């Protein structure tokens, strides 16, 4: 099975990070793997693949999907060890990391949920709790289409 095309390219990631990444170098190969991981998360989060039968990208992939892919891949590329602090001599700094590895933030998940295709189910609804309008005969039994079969009306 062929590897699916990523939702963004290594040059796109290099532009996002503001640094040169040669696609043939070790960093380029690492960037490509980061993009594969991020693309898989975006596809899972959106419920869509944006792939043809030959695992090539379809034209017009939504911009939100591409941007979330780049942002997620940049987190993995820049901080693959999920470090939360660092320092040199007497200088130290810390930063927030939601979890180790590749992940989607809550905002990114909200962006992708707008791309999810609905199956027509879900949302708020109501269910009747009364049997309004039906008045069984005085015996307390409900007739059924099967002759001789009845069930009680409670």
> In this model, does residue 96 exceed pLDDT 60?
yes
40 occurs within a structural domain: yes
Residue 23 lies in a domain: yes
* Residues 35, 5 contacting (CB under 8 angstroms): no
- 68 assigned to some structural domain: yes
Name the 3-class secondary structure at 142: strand
65 within domain boundaries: yes
Q: Say what the pTM is.
A: 0.68
Summarize pLDDT for 122-139 with one digit per residue, the tens.
677 777 776 666 555 556
For residue 100, give every residue at least 6 positions away whose Cβ sits within 8 Å of its Cβ, in sequence order, or none: 81, 82
Domains of the chain: total: 1
Phi-psi region of 122 (alpha: psi -120 to 50; beta: other; left: phi over 0): left
Inter-CA distances, 135 with 48, 121, 141, 147, 148, Å: 50, 33, 11, 20, 20
Angle at 30 between CA 52 and CA 34, to 5 degrees: 50
Q: Is 55 contained in some domain?
A: yes
For residue 34, is it within any domain?
A: yes
Written as six digits, the tokens of 74 are 């940049």
The two structure tokens encoding residue 67: 């941007």
Rg (CA), the chain: 27
Where does the pLDDT of residue 140 fall: very low under 50, low under 70, confident under 90, or very high at 90 and above?
A: confident
Q: Residue 10 pLDDT more than 80? A: yes
pLDDT tens string 43-59? 999 999 999 988 889 98
Structural domain span for residue 46: 10-81+101-113
Is 119 within a domain? no
């Amino acid at each position: 099975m062929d590897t699916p095309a990523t939702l963004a390219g290594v040059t796109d990631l290099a532009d996002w990070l503001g640094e040169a990444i040669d696609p043939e170098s070790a960093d380029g190969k690492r960037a490509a793997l980061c993009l594969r991981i991020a693309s898989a998360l975006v596809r899972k989060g959106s419920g869509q693949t944006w792939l043809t039968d030959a695992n090539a990208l379809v034209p017009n992939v939504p911009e939100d999907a591409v941007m979330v892919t780049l942002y997620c891949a940049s987190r993995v590329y820049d901080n693959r060890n999920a470090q939360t602090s660092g320092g040199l001599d007497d200088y130290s700094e810390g930063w927030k990391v939601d979890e180790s590895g590749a992940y989607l933030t809550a905002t990114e998940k909200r962006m992708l949920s707008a791309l999810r295709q609905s199956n027509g189910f879900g949302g708020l609804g109501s269910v009747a709790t009364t049997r309004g309008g039906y008045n069984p005969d005085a015996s307390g039994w409900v007739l059924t289409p099967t002759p001789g079969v009845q069930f009680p009306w409670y």
